[in-house]
Chain A
Amino acid sequence: MPPDIALGEVTATAPKGAVVTERSESKALAALMPYLQSLPLWIVLAIFLAIPIGMIFVVSFWDDQETGIAPAFIFDNYSDALGSWVTWNTYLQTIRYAVIVWALTLSIGFTVAYVLAFHIRSTLWQMVLFQLCAIPFLTSNVIRMISWIPFLGRNGILNSLLMDVHVTDHPLEFLLYSPFAVCLAFVHLYTLFMVVPIFNTMMRIDRALVEAARDAGAGPIAVLRHVIIPLSLPGISIGTIFVVTLVMGDFITVQMMSGGQSASVGLIIKNGMSLLQYPEASAQAVVLLLTVLLMVASILRVVDIRKEL
C-alpha cells in the first residue's frame, strides 16, 4: 500500500482520477498477495499430501486380483485387516512400544530440559548445551541405529563389560535384535523431540512465578509440581505428539533393531507394498492414520499449539 505522504505528493502533481485507480489497483494486489504467497505451499501439500492420502483411502476399497489391482467398492480389505489376529497383535505391540518410549522420552526429555532451563546459569552455556542436544536431529537415523552394534552386539562393549565384572558368564543375546534394542534406539533417536519443545516452553515461564512460589514456602518439588509442570504442558504435548506419531508409524527402527523378530503396523504396510498388495496395505494405512489422528486429537484437547509458536 502506498504511504500517505507519497500519496499526498502524487495528488499534488497528478489528476485525481489516476490516484484513485492506482490506489485501488495496489489495494487489490495487496489483497491478492497472501493467496499468491501461499500458493506454492498449497500446491506441494495438495500434490504430495492430500491427493496421496485420498488415493490411499480410495484404493483401500479396491479389489486385489491376480492380474493386478482393480477399482471396486468392497470392504474385504478392512474385514481382512481387522478380522486378523495378527493385525490386533501387531497394534498391541506397536502401542506398547509407543507407551514405553513415550514414558521414557518424557521423563528423560523433561529432566534434560529442566536442567537446561533452570540449572544452567549463563545464557551462552544454555544455548551451547541446547544446541548439543539438538544437533543429532541433523544427522542420519540409520547411522545412529547402526552405531549401537558395537555396543550391544554379542561381543559388544556392554557384554564384555558385564562379563568382566562377572554379572554374567556368557554374552547376553537379548541386547541387540530384541524389543529392548528397539526401545533403546527409539529413546536415542526421539528424546530430542521432547527436549526441544519442553525447553522452549520452560524458557517462557516467568521466573517471578517461581520466586513467588518459593517465597510462599514451596519446596523444589512443590514448585515443580504446581508451577513448572503445569506451565510446561504445551511443550510436553507437542513432544508427545511427535514421539507418539513417530513410533506409531515406524517401520525401519523396529525392523533393524529387532532383527526382524518384532512387528509393527508400519512394517505390515511396508511389506504389503513390497508385495504390491496395495489395497490391503491401504486399508491398514487408513486404520493406522485414524488411530494416530485419534491419539493426536486427544492430546490437542490439552493444548492449542497455534498459540505456542
Chain B
Amino acid sequence: MEKSGPRHWFLLAFFALFVIFLYGPTITILILSFQGPDGGLTFPMRGVSLRWFANLFEAQMVGDFGGSLTRSLSLALLVMGLTVLIALCAGLAFRRKFFGATVLFYLTIASLIVPSILISLGIGLMFNEAGVQPNWYTSALGAHLTWTLPFGVLIMFAVFNRFDHRLEEAARDLGASPWQTLQHVVLPLIAPSLVGVGLFGFSLSYDEFARTLLTAGSDNTLPLEIYAMTTNATTPVLYALGSLTTAFSLGLVVVVTLIVLGMRRRRLSKA
C-alpha cells in the first residue's frame, strides 16, 4: 500500500478523528468532574474543585455508593474466576471431538447473540416460578456468565488453534502425565491469554448493566446505582462517579497489560 500522498494522510486523519470521537466525551466529563462548587453540568468551568469527588463519599448524595461498589467488585471477581476456570476447561475439551461438541459450540454462540433483555426476562421467570428471590450473587451472576463465557471460550478457541501441539507431545514423550503436561507446559504458555480472559470477565461484569437491571434483586450494583443517579442528579457528582469508575477500568487494563508484558519478557529471558 502506498504510505504517502494525500490519500494516506486523509485516512490517518480519519483515524485520528475516530479516536477523538471515541475518547472525547469521556475526557470532557473528566474535566467537568473538577467543576467548581457553583458550576453546572456543562461548560463553562466555574472554578476548579474536588467538591464533587468529596460529595461521592457523603452518604446522602449518592444512594449507596459503598455498598454497590462492594457488590460490583465481589460480583466481578466471582465472574472473573468462574469465567477463567470454565473457559479453560471448555477450551481443553474442544481440542478433541466429543459427542455434543457442535451443540455446545452453537449454544455458546447463541449466548453471545441472544439479546440481553431475553436473558433477564428468562432468568426472572425461572426464579419467579421456582419461588426463589433473585439476588446479585445468584441470578445476576448467571446472567453475567452468559455474556462473559462466550468471549472466554472463543478466546480459548483461538489460543488452542494456534497452540503448538508438538510441545505437549514432547512433554509426553519425556514421560509427563497429562496433569504434569497441563501444569508445566500448557498452562505457563497460555497464561497471558488466561489473564486476558480474566480481564474480560472482570470488566464485562463490572460494567454490565442490561443483564443486571432485572436480575439483581433488591440490591443495586454500581452501574445500576449510576443509572439511578442519571434520572435525579443535576450536579457534576455524576461526572465524578463516571470519571472514577472509568479511571478504575483503565487502570485495570494498564496493570493487566504490564503483567502480561512482564510474563512475556520473563519467558523470553528464560529462553
Q: Do A and B bind each other?
A: yes
Residues on A lying within 8 angstroms of B by beta carbon are 1, 3, 5-6, 30, 33-42, 44-45, 47-56, 59, 108, 111-112, 114-116, 118-119, 121, 129, 131-133, 135-144, 146-151, 153, 155-157, 160, 188, 191-192, 210, 220, 241-242, 245-246, 248-252, 256, 266, 269-270, 273, 278, 281-282, 285, 288-289, 292, 296, 305-306, 309
Tally of contact residues, B, Cβ under 8 A:
101
Least CB distance, A102 to chain B, in whole angstroms = 15
Q: Which of B42, B104, B108, B223 has a CB less than 8 Å from the CB of A153? A: B42
The 8 closest A-B pairs by CB, nearest first: A249-B115, A52-B122, A48-B142, A37-B93, A147-B25, A34-B98, A38-B93, A138-B203
A sample of 14 cross-chain residue pairs with beta-carbon separation below 8 angstroms, ordered by A number, consists of A5-B175, A39-B89, A45-B146, A49-B122, A52-B121, A115-B14, A138-B200, A139-B26, A139-B249, A150-B41, A188-B25, A210-B1, A252-B213, A292-B115
Let me know if A49 and B111 touch, CB within 8 A.
Answer: yes
Stretch at the interface among B57-65, B123-131, B184-192, B263-271: B123-131
Closest to B145 in A: A44
Contact yes or no, B32 A115, CB < 8 A: no
Per the bound structure, the CA–CA distance linking A59 and B40 in Å amounts to 47
Interface residues of B in 103-133 (CB under 8 A from A): 104-105, 107-111, 113-126, 128-129
Q: How far is the CB of A171 from chain B (nearest CB, A)?
A: 11
Are B242 and A119 interface neighbours, CB within 8 A? Answer: no
Enumerate chain B residues within 8 angstroms of A3, measured Cβ to Cβ.
172-175
The yes or no answer to B255 lying at the interface (CB within 8 A) is: no
Q: Are A143 and B245 in contact (CB under 8 A)?
A: yes
State in angstroms the CA–CA spacing of A5 and B249 once bound together: 51
User: Known contacts being A251-B210, A273-B120, A306-B105, is A278 close to B125, with CB within 8 Å?
Assistant: yes
Pick the contact of A55: B32, B115, B126, B226 (CB < 8 A): B126
Whether A56 lies near B142 (C-beta < 8 A) is no
* Contact B253 A135, beta carbon cutoff 8 Å: yes
16 extra interchain contacts, Cβ-Cβ under 8 A, other than A136-B26, A150-B42, A288-B115?
A30-B178, A34-B96, A37-B92, A41-B90, A49-B114, A111-B15, A135-B250, A139-B203, A144-B26, A146-B242, A157-B28, A157-B43, A251-B117, A252-B210, A266-B115, A289-B115
Contact in complex: B175, A51 (CB < 8 Å): no
Chain B residues with CB under 8 Å of A270's CB are: 117, 213-214
Could you tell me if B122 and A53 are in contact, using CB atoms closer than 8 angstroms? Answer: yes
Q: Chain B's nearest CB lies how many Å from the CB of A56? A: 5
Alpha-carbon distance between A153 and B145 when the two chains are bound, in angstroms? 36
Query: How far apart are the CA atoms of A309 and B159 in the complex, in Å?
Result: 9
Residue of B nearest to A121 (CB): B3
**A residues less than 8 Å from B108 (CB atoms):** 41, 45
> Does B183 make an interface contact (CB < 8 A)?
no
Cβ of B18 to closest chain A Cβ, rounded Å: 5
Chain B residues near A269 (CB-CB < 8 A):
117-118, 121
| CB closest chain-B residue, reference A148 | B25
B210 touches A220 (CB 8 A): no
B-side contacts of A136, CB under 8 Å: 22-23, 26
Known: A5-B175, A45-B107, A309-B158. A289 touches B114 (CB 8 A): yes
Q: A48-B142, A252-B210 are in contact. Are A142 and B223 (CB under 8 A)?
A: yes
Q: List residues of chain B with CB within 8 A of the CB of A220.
A: 1-2, 7
Q: Are A111 and B14 in contact (CB under 8 A)?
A: yes
Residue of B nearest to A29 (CB): B178
Is the beta-carbon distance between B28 and A147 smaller than 8 angstroms?
yes
| B11 to A, closest residue via Cβ | A115
B125 touches A55 (CB 8 A): yes
Cα A74 to Cα B145 in complex, Å, equals 33
> How far is B18's CA from A220's CA once the two chains are assembled, in angstroms?
22
Distance of A248 Cα from B115 Cα, bound (Å): 8
Which residues from B are CB-within-8-Å of A151?
24-25, 28
Contact A59 B250 (CB under 8 A): no
Cβ contact within 8 Å between A49 and B107: yes
Q: Give Cα distance in the complex from A139 to B115, angstroms.
A: 20
Set of chain B residues within 8 Å of A112, measured between Cβ atoms: 14-15, 18
- Tell which of A141, A188, A245, A273 touches B22, judged by Cβ atoms closer than 8 Å: A188
Within 8 A of A (CB), among B63-94: 82, 85-87, 89-90, 92-94
Cα–Cα, bound, A285→B119 (Å)? 10
The residue of chain A having its C-beta at the shortest distance from the C-beta of B227 within the complex is A142
Contact B114 A41 (CB under 8 A): no
Query: Hey, which chain B residues are within 8 Å of A278, CB to CB?
Result: 121, 124-125, 128
Of the residues B15, B253, B257, contact of A115 by C-beta under 8 Å: B15
B153 interface hit (Cβ, 8 Å): yes
Is the CB of B197 closer than 8 A to any CB of chain A? Answer: no
Contact between chains at B245 and A285 (CB < 8 Å) = no
Q: How far is the CA of A290 from the CA of B243 in the complex (A)?
A: 39
**Which of B32, B93, B143, B242 makes the CB contact (< 8 A) with A48?**
B143
The docked-state distance in angstroms from the alpha carbon of A40 to that of B85 is: 9
Q: Which of B218-243 contact A (CB under 8 A)?
A: 223, 226-227, 230, 238-239, 242
| Interchain CA distance A251-B146 in the complex, whole Å | 18
**For the complex, is B209 an interface residue (Cβ under 8 Å from A)?**
yes
Shortest CB-to-CB span from A267 to chain B, Å, is 9
CB distance from B183 to the nearest CB of A (A): 15
